[in-house]
Amino acid sequence: MAREKVVENYDVIVIGGGAAGLTAGIYAGRARLKTLLLEKSLVGGLATYTNEVENYPGFPNSPKGEDITNLMKEQAKKMGVVFKLTDVKSVDLEGEEKVVETFRNKYIAKTVILATGGRPRITKAKNEENYLFDKGISFCATCDAAANTGKTVVVIGSGDAAIEEGMFLTKFADKIIVSVLHDEGKMDCNEIAKEAALQNPKMSFMWNTVVESFEGEGHLDTVVLKNVKTGDLIPISCDTCFEFIGYIPNTEIFKDQINLTPQGYIVANEKMATNVEGVFACGDVVEKWLKQIATAVGDGAIAGFAAEKYIAESECFHDIILQKEKPGLTYIYNAVDAPSREFLTSVKKIEEGLIGQVQVNRVDVYKSTGLADRLNIKEFPAVVLTKNGKIVHSFIQDFTEESILREVKEII
């Protein structure tokens, strides 16, 4: 019953429409690259779950997260980014043609930016799926604190997020009961948060507990905790249960192609490049220290810029370095190295001596070794000779004007 998929070509495909993906799209679009952004549900990402964004620079009036990301979307559209709201079913990222498939289309792109973010981890306790989000289990204190004014809430977890969000909840709710897996007095959060939480009269702690089940008619009204040491079941009446037990990065469909941390986050370097050439990553899906709109925007910009540089480099590599018109001589050097600079004179001599018979290129690796990497050259200076778009000879470090000239004459 497979329907024929419509094939479309793009320069850049961004997977994920949160703050990082939108920013990458803005940068790619502005570089006049044909850019497609794929988002599985709604544009805006995790930021849209936040009612007041207090710390994104430039917005002093605490807007809703959605308001900020809607502006980003508008800006991306203005830059010509194409949006498709559908799930990515599979990717094939190796090679120069990257393939991204949805249920209706097969998209082919020169470069792919992974900005798939993450989702909250859940306890997997009994009946949990019946109460997720609007039915009593929340993952966002900022979103749901006000609705719990004067009420009793349960918080699951003891990491920084759990305790800091729990403290925030004390401004609204009357009673915050925190379920902690560890022994009394032990928490995963930082010491300052821990001290403050232990002294907060609205907070109480259930040590050595995990969630056994969630109960309630239609809406959650009881969380049943289980003491992991005694096995005792402890039912706790509450209005909302907040789960802060971490995030799971959305990397399942990349895991066989992209290097991930043991927790599943994408490993990217300072240029947001992954282990696969031409594939970049940004935002919460990347292993990093601080996950905020501001940092997502920061690495989104880098990823978009890097994608543009990668494409420009690819074009230079194919159209100039590996041109097929005549034999090619490419001198690869580091401009900060004086002897390498001096050898440029010899390169010029060779070029003038063989006027018109050889295409001579000079590649300075000072800023980027991208082109050298493509020629498989790791040490400099080096000379690569090509014919019909193929490498026929490489000289690494140990060469002279004469030795090069001898080889060049062989291939003319």
Partner 1 sequence: MNEVVLDCMGEACPVPLIKAQNKLKELALGDLLIVQIDHSCAMKNVPEWARKEGYNVEVEEVDDGEWEVIIEKTK
Q: Which chain residues interact with partner 1 by CB under 8 A?
A: 1, 3, 41-42, 83-87, 102-104
Q: Which is nearer to partner 1, 85 or 336 (CB)?
A: 85
Q: Least distance from C-beta 395 to partner 1, angstroms?
A: 53
- CB-count exposure of residue 181 (10 Å: 0-12, 13-18, 19+): middle
Place of tokens 């393939």: 99
Nearest to 169 by CA among 191, 205, 197: 197
Q: Which is nearer to partner 1, 3 or 367 (CB)?
A: 3
Q: Which is nearer to partner 1, 85 or 412 (CB)?
A: 85
The C-alpha atoms of residue 220 and residue 135 are separated, in whole angstroms, by 6
Q: Least distance from C-beta 284 to partner 1, angstroms?
A: 21
Q: Which is nearer to partner 1, 86 or 259 (CB)?
A: 86
Show the tokens assigned to 191: 């010491």
Q: Least distance from C-beta 85 to partner 1, angstroms?
A: 4
Q: Which is nearer to partner 1, 91 or 155 (CB)?
A: 91
Amino acid at 201: P
Nearest to 179 by CA among 238, 239, 243: 243
* Cα of 164 vs its chain's centroid, Å: 25
The C-alpha atoms of residue 403 and residue 412 are separated, in whole angstroms, by 15
* CA-derived radius of gyration, the chain: 28
Decide: 51 and 64 in contact? Cβ < 8 Å.
yes
Q: Which is nearer to partner 1, 102 or 251 (CB)?
A: 102
Q: Least distance from C-beta 369 to partner 1, angstroms?
A: 40
Decide: 278 and 112 in contact? Cβ < 8 Å.
yes
Q: Least distance from C-beta 17 to partner 1, angstroms?
A: 11
Q: Which is nearer to partner 1, 75 or 346 (CB)?
A: 75
290 contacts: CB under 8 Å, gap ≥ 6: none
Q: Least distance from C-beta 1 to partner 1, angstroms?
A: 4
The dihedral formed by the CA atoms of 135, 141, 143 and 146, expressed in degrees to the nearest 10: 90
Q: Which is nearer to partner 1, 87 or 195 (CB)?
A: 87
Q: Least distance from C-beta 123 to partner 1, angstroms?
A: 21
**398 phi/psi in degrees, rounded to 5:** -90, 90
CB count within 10 Å of CB 50 equals 21
Q: Which is nearer to partner 1, 103 or 366 (CB)?
A: 103
Show the tokens assigned to 11: 């320069």
The C-alpha atoms of residue 174 and residue 149 are separated, in whole angstroms, by 7
The C-alpha atoms of residue 317 and residue 96 are separated, in whole angstroms, by 12
Q: Least distance from C-beta 224 to partner 1, angstroms?
A: 26
The C-alpha atoms of residue 253 and residue 264 are separated, in whole angstroms, by 11
